[in-house]
């Protein structure tokens, strides 16, 4: 598949929109490229690379505004980065129908969770630091595995986790998630590089559009959007993609 002017514009808009909810674009890139006819391994590798570029671009803007909680992100970064290449290897061995079904399930569950109101803040001082770290590593490993497998970087799972489990404010969760998915996207992409499942002629020029979109999305989210608006936008995108993945599942041979 070659990069057209229309597709470059779509990549820019996707990066802009999903950066605002903590994803960097990978959630839409992977299913979009599959729908457009790209092989699932090439789609996932291209998605991870564009996700990396868009998320890194946005993370720089977020970090300058002190919106990234680095201490909370470290256990998730370590675990998800180590697990993402394993997801890449699983993708190569997985048929298209199970791939689409897993993708649809992940999208639907995340969309439903994001429609729920944020939980009331509770005192979690009785939870030991070691337990928090262990939980973060376990969850991060699952996120990295699914992110590498599906080519989505893992942000779709990280944002609900930070908001509903770790009681993180929505904007901080979105900004921190964007930073975290840089690392899982990078290691997942390197897994595909080792197997030579890369369409360099497509992803290098597409990365320019993703970078610009990430910068624009970070600036809009940090100054103009409210937390509730971000969650609603996120849910709508997830449900639309779920419907499309289910349709693709039934029409695929």
Model pLDDT for residues 156-214, shown as the tens digit of each residue: 777 777 777 767 777 787 788 888 878 878 888 888 888 776 778 888 888 999 899 88
Please state whether the predicted TM-score (pTM) of the whole model is above 0.85.
Answer: no
- Count how many residues are written for the chain: 253
What is the spatial distance between Cα 56 and Cα 174, in angstroms, rounded to a whole number? 13
First-last CA distance in the chain: 20
pLDDT in tens, 172-183: 877 888 888 788
Q: How far apart are CA 215 and CA 96, in angstroms?
A: 33
User: What CA–CA distance (Å, rounded) separates 212 from 189?
Assistant: 20
The residue segments making up the domain with residue 180 are 5-117+125-251
Q: How far apart are CA 104 and CA 242, in angstroms?
A: 5
Question: Cα(59)–Cα(253) distance, rounded to whole angstroms?
Answer: 40
Q: How confident is the model over 27-36, as pLDDT tens digits? A: 778 878 888 8
How many separate domains does the chain show? 1
Reported confidence tier of residue 126, pLDDT bands at 50, 70, 90: very low
């Amino acid at each position: 598949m070659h990069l057209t002017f229309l597709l470059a514009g779509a990549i820019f808009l996707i990066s802009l929109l999903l950066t605002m909810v903590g994803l960097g674009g990978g959630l839409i890139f992977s299913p979009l490229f599959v729908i457009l006819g790209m092989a699932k391994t090439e789609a996932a590798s291209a998605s991870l690379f564009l996700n990396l570029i868009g998320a890194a671009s946005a993370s720089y803007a977020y970090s300058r505004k002190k919106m990234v909680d680095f201490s909370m992100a470290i256990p998730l970064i370590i675990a998800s980065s180590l697990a993402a290449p394993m997801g890449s290897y699983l993708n190569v061995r997985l048929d298209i129908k199970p791939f689409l079904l897993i993708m649809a399930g992940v999208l639907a569950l995340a969309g439903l969770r994001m429609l729920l109101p944020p939980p009331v803040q509770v005192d979690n001082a009785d939870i030991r630091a070691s337990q928090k770290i262990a939980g973060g590593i376990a969850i991060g490993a699952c996120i990295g595995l699914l992110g590498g497998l599906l080519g989505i970087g893992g942000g779709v799972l990280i944002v609900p986790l930070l908001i509903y489990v770790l009681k993180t404010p929505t904007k901080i969760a979105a900004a921190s998630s964007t930073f975290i998915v840089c690392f899982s996207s990078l290691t997942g992409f390197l897994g595909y590089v080792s197997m030579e499942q890369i369409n360099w002629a497509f992803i290098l020029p597409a990365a320019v559009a993703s970078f610009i979109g990430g910068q624009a999305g970070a600036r809009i989210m940090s100054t103009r959007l409210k937390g509730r608006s971000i969650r609603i936008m996120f849910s709508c995108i997830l449900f639309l993609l779920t419907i499309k993945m289910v349709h693709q599942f039934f029409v695929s041979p």
